[in-house]
Structure 1
């Protein structure tokens, strides 16, 4: 049995201003999310990106080719309805941030982590007045609760659309610090992605790449870059 797919019924997809932001119209009819919420987004740039996805569809709609639509649906149907819970979950990464757990050998990896990750922690201190401590090994050691709380306030201040993208930046990198740095423009998304994969890339240098792992990493990289672009559009 073939899988059901929505067929295209519209000729023109446009972004139009409306109460509360910008709507996406298909031949004048407003798009709705899977939960039947009107698809209204906060910025014209984001609305235009979504309208472009709908306009680019062929005879059958392929959701896999509509990442801006999917993330917006998530912002409205999931994040907006449980904003505090999502923000709490992401803020908790500050207590176990990837950048704080270091190797104790070999020396080359220890040095590389220090050279590339320490500047991000220095930026965090300069920007938020918050210092996270580092340690060797992977056993969890709690951070200063005041430091974690300061970062949590920044996360909770984000809009549902920002938070939907921020979720992917944090979850895919394992680092609240890197996600904050990307959204603040302190590091570009491509560089942040490679910083989050420093250990994996070092292993590849030693033993060579694994074809399957490389393919998975490349797919995730694309999703990470999309999240950064979505955040920027939702904040413009």
Structure 2
């Protein structure tokens, strides 16, 4: 979006039905991505959010206030042209998933990890035929090949728009399982965010809040919640 004109130049933003789904037009002219492709999304609900982001701009455009536009741009410009590479990168999290690396002590932290992480691993085993096993410590220990392969196939089956949102769900949480749980809406997204922050929350409780770390966490949380909403809206069916 750095290539966009910094000043607002349009009066109205509207949705346009296209051969690829839904586009957005500014005073009748199609919105283009930073790579100059015509922007399109498969869901009217997402197109509506993008229109709202354009409508909300004041005299100068602020890309930070346009997360749906950014994610759609990423899907078209980046993920679509290197889908396999992005899918492989995210699938690799399955062999080193956050949920599998447990503390040895103290007992309170161990219990909290077990309570919040075991149900997610059980869900993955039940719903995706992918049993990932926890281990104590931070040293890498390979997971069962069949489980990792099952997860990898599911990642590669995602569309470019799903994968764009899935990227943030996984990369921010550090967990492929949490990413899939968010996509499936297995638990409320706030609970999944809390599950990804068990260790950080514990440290904060023991040593107090660090202002810089808290601010960074809030930015990550906002991106995580946005990715979940983008993924959810991909499946929302609305009339033309």
- Normalising by structure 1, we get a TM-score of 0.97
Contiguous gaps of at least 5 residues in structure 1: none
Cα offset for 1:234?
A: 2.1
CA distance in 2 between partners of 1:130 and 1:156 (Å): 15
CA distance in 1 between partners of 2:5 and 2:206 (Å): 45
SS of aligned partner of 2:23: strand
Which residue pairs with 2:50 in the alignment? Answer: 50
Q: Report if the CA contact (8 A) 1:99-1:134 is conserved.
A: yes
Q: Report if the CA contact (8 A) 1:5-1:62 is conserved.
A: no
Which residue pairs with 1:209 in the alignment? Answer: 209
SS of aligned partner of 1:24: strand
User: Are positions 1:149 and 2:149 aligned together?
Assistant: yes
User: Are positions 1:38 and 2:8 aligned together?
Assistant: no
Cα offset for 1:79?
A: 0.2
Cα offset for 1:235?
A: 2.8
Q: Report if the CA contact (8 A) 1:24-1:31 is conserved.
A: yes
1:167-178 alignment, distance < 5 Å: 167-178=167-178
Q: Report if the CA contact (8 A) 1:117-1:195 is conserved.
A: yes
Cα offset for 1:153?
A: 0.9
Q: Report if the CA contact (8 A) 1:162-1:235 is conserved.
A: no
Q: Report if the CA contact (8 A) 1:15-1:48 is conserved.
A: yes
Aligned residues between the structures: 233
Which residue pairs with 1:185 in the alignment? Answer: 185
CA distance in 2 between partners of 1:152 and 1:226 (Å): 24
Per mean C-alpha deviation after superposition, the further-off stretch among 170-179 and 203-212 is 203-212
CA distance in 1 between partners of 2:204 and 2:28 (Å): 52
1:222-233 alignment, distance < 5 Å: 222-233=222-233
Which residue pairs with 1:24 in the alignment? Answer: 24
Cα RMSD (Å): 1.0
CA distance in 2 between partners of 1:235 and 1:80 (Å): 19
Runs of 4+ in 1 over 3 A off after TM superposition: none
Which residue pairs with 2:93 in the alignment? Answer: 93
SS of aligned partner of 2:80: helix
CA distance in 1 between partners of 2:12 and 2:136 (Å): 56
Cα offset for 1:5?
A: 5.2
SS of aligned partner of 1:191: helix
Per mean C-alpha deviation after superposition, the further-off stretch among 83-92 and 187-196 is 187-196
CA distance in 2 between partners of 1:196 and 1:83 (Å): 25
Q: Report if the CA contact (8 A) 1:33-1:39 is conserved.
A: yes
Cα offset for 1:15?
A: 1.2
Q: Report if the CA contact (8 A) 1:97-1:175 is conserved.
A: yes
Which residue pairs with 2:194 in the alignment? Answer: 194
CA distance in 1 between partners of 2:114 and 2:121 (Å): 10
